């Protein structure tokens, strides 16, 4: 199984790892990607959390996607396609306190446009 985790914060990464940890097989692969934004340190920390939490549970690749003119949802969908993802895992919205429970535009667009299952993990901030 090939998973693609799209994250922008340690909170989203932790929630995705909580979801994946009981489901992973050592033969599975997890690509964890982040799209650069204003907070590159948060993005780097998010990738580090994935490495620490998933080490030894599956093959893990982390990548900061190139900053493009495309929107974040398009970058995530392209990354999923390039990595032949079977499942996309992401948070409901930016992983920041006070964002509320509603789906953000990126999660909504990915869920509507993906041609593979999309898992939206709840955040506890």
Asked if residue 104 is part of any domain, the answer here is yes
Nearest to 46 by CA among 79, 8, 94, 16: 8
Asked if residue 125 is part of any domain, the answer here is no
Who wins on pLDDT, 94 or 63? Answer: 63
Asked if residue 26 is part of any domain, the answer here is yes
> Which CATH number fits the domain that encloses residue 11?
3.40.50.620
How many domains are contained in the chain? Answer: 1
Range of lowest pLDDT (5-9, 36-40, 76-80): 36-40
Cα separation, 13 vs 44, whole angstroms: 11
> 49 falls in which pLDDT band (50, 70, 90)?
very high
Chain segment 73-124, per-residue pLDDT in tens: 999 999 999 999 999 999 998 765 566 678 888 999 999 999 999 999 988 7
Asked if pLDDT for residue 36 goes beyond 90, the answer is no
Could you tell me the residue range of the domain that residue 8 belongs to?
2-120
pTM: 0.90
| Average of per-residue pLDDT values in the chain | 88
Asked whether 9 and 41 are in contact (CB, 8 A), the reply is no
Asked if pLDDT for residue 2 goes beyond 90, the answer is yes
User: How far from 46 is each of 102, 116, 117, CA to CA, in Å?
Assistant: 22, 24, 23
């Amino acid at each position: 199984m090939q998973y693609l985790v799209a994250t922008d914060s340690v909170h989203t990464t932790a929630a995705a790892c909580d979801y994946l940890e009981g489901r992973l097989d050592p033969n599975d692969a997890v690509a964890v990607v982040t799209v650069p934004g204003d907070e590159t340190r948060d993005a780097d920390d998010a990738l580090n959390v994935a490495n620490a939490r998933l080490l030894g549970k599956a093959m893990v690749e982390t990548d900061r996607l190139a900053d493009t003119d495309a929107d974040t949802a398009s970058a995530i969908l392209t990354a999923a396609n390039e990595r032949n993802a079977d499942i996309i895992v992401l948070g409901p919205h930016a992983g920041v306190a006070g964002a509320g429970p509603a789906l953000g535009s990126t999660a909504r667009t990915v869920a509507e446009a993906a041609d593979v299952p999309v898992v939206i993990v709840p955040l506890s901030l």
